[in-house]
Amino acid sequence: MPHRSAIIYIVDDDLSVRRALKRLINSAGMNAEVFESANKFLEYKHSTKGPMCVIVDLRMRDMTGLELQREMRKRGSRLPFIFVTGHDTDESRSEAKKSGAAGYFRKPVDDQALLDAIIWAISQSE
């Protein structure tokens, strides 16, 4: 299965969310890299080969998930982004949709729906 070699980047400032998402990703046979902030993620040397995507919290202390996605686009990255949020609004859903989000989920996230979105997103990144 092609998703077995996938790298899923998880960016969330909540440790418990990072741990839970990493366990979920690993249990599905994919590789998870976790980051406590958008800035830490931006400092990291990302792989440019193979299937991958980013799961990012919409609201973090250093920058929003949408700001992170915009910064990655400025840097030439086309990584698919899946947004998760505990602060869902019509505006945030609309912004995520306009940004080309591969997925948008309210916390707590439905595990199977998120895995389905990840598999779809990484199939688009290959």
Residue keyed to tokens 């910064």: 71
Domain 2-125 sits in CATH at 3.40.50.2300
- In this structure, are residues 113 and 105 in contact, taking their beta carbons and an 8 Å threshold? yes
**Global pTM value:** 0.94
Q: Would you state the pLDDT for residue 49?
A: 78
User: Across the chain, what does the average pLDDT equal?
Assistant: 93
pLDDT over 90 for what percent of the chain? 85
State how far the Cα of 33 lies from the Cα of 16, in Å rounded to an integer: 15
pLDDT at 5: 84
pLDDT classification of 39: cutoffs 50, 70, 90: very high
Domain range annotation of the chain: 2-125
Tell me the mean pLDDT in the region 61-80: 94
